Amino acid sequence: MKLYSWPDNVWCSEGLAPLVVRCDVDSYLQPPFTDHFPIITIVELPQERVADWAEFTLDLMENVIAMLEPRPLGTSEEIQDAAAALTQALQESIKAMIALNKPCPHSRRWWSPELDILWREVNQMSR
């Protein structure tokens, strides 16, 4: 049996780490002619979020406009600062404008508002 001592690294953000359900190497799925193994990662994401995307866009635009004036970024530090400011603007808009949907455990998660409209139309036609 061959010993493997150089595992591939798996990276995730500090906020994503608690959502990782499984992160394992699957040696049975090793592609031919390579010493790499697939890393199977399962992440349990929060429930679907519902938003008025037009209002979200307006709020995001306000947050972005409130950032520093656009200018050429000359240093690595300036790029990092601009990325941090943009991330902050996005996070503020997400917190303000997007509600977390909390469906009951017995709900049909695949059911959408569009299906509700179609269901009503079918019921009206069958009368």
Backbone region of residue 24 per phi and psi (left: phi > 0; alpha: psi in -120 to 50; beta: other values): beta
In this prediction, residues 11-29 reach a mean pLDDT of 82
For residue 82 the two structure tokens come to 């601009």
Which tens digit of pLDDT belongs to each residue from 82-112? 889 999 999 999 999 887 766 677 777 677 7
Let me know: does 113 contact 119? Beta carbons within 8 Å.
no
Question: Each residue of 46-74: pLDDT tens digit?
Answer: 666 677 888 989 999 999 988 877 778 88
- Report the C-alpha gap between 70 and 64 in whole angstroms: 10
Asked if the model's pLDDT at residue 1 lies above 70, the reply is no
| 31-52 pLDDT tens trace | 777 777 788 888 887 666 677 8
- Is the pLDDT at 3 greater than 70? The verdict is no
- Residue 114 to residues 45, 72, 106, 121, Cα–Cα distance (Å): 23, 44, 20, 11
* pLDDT tops 90 at residue 25: no
